[in-house]
């Protein structure tokens, strides 16, 4: 079974301010909940992030040989998932295909299902289109 643990979380607000995200009272902040799943246990992490920010979450396998990168903009419907493996010869990560073993692993599914963000005006989460919820009709 493939397991991942949370490695890091990065935020970007604007192309000009990509190095730092500053929280101010003028920003529309949401609570971002992300989780990881190791040894049949879920662990959740909560962050205050700007609604219009871009979030990059990185997970790694316990042996540090594989990296899972999830990037999305909170107020958009775009999601990017990339998978990397460590290349011992070149000493860096290279992009690799996301294989069915990983996609169907309990850890990967738990990670995707744990991602949500909310505040007084927002509640969003990822829906697995392969297993639609009963109250969502296919269009």
What are 87's strand-pairing partners? Answer: 92
Cα distance between residue 125 and residue 69, in whole Å: 17
pTM of the entire predicted model: 0.78
For 74-95, write each residue's pLDDT tens digit. 778 788 999 999 999 999 999 9
pLDDT, mean of residues 33-55: 86
Other Cβ atoms closer than 10 A to 130 = 7
Across 2-113, the runs of DSSP E, i.e. the strands, are 5-12, 29-38, 41-50, 54-60, 66-73, 79-87, 92-96
- pLDDT confidence tier of residue 19, bands split at 50, 70 and 90: very low
pLDDT recorded at residue 99? 92
pLDDT, mean of residues 93-115: 91
pLDDT recorded at residue 37? 82
- pLDDT confidence tier of residue 121, bands split at 50, 70 and 90: confident
pLDDT, mean of residues 41-50: 88
- pLDDT confidence tier of residue 15, bands split at 50, 70 and 90: low
- pLDDT confidence tier of residue 10, bands split at 50, 70 and 90: very high
């Amino acid at each position: 079974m493939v397991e991942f643990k949370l490695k890091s979380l990065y935020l970007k607000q604007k192309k000009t301010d990509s190095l730092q995200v500053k929280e101010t009272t003028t920003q529309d902040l949401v609570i971002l909940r992300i989780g990881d799943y190791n040894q049949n246990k879920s662990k959740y992490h909560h962050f205050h992030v700007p609604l219009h920010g871009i979030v990059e979450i990185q997970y790694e396998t316990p042996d540090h040989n594989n990296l899972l990168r999830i990037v999305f903009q909170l107020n958009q419907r775009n999601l990017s998932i990339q998978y990397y493996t460590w290349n011992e010869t070149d000493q860096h990560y290279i992009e690799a295909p996301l294989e069915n073993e990983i996609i169907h692993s309990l850890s990967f599914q738990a990670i995707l299902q744990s991602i949500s963000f909310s505040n007084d005006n927002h509640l969003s989460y990822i829906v697995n289109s392969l297993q639609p919820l009963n109250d969502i009709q296919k269009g």
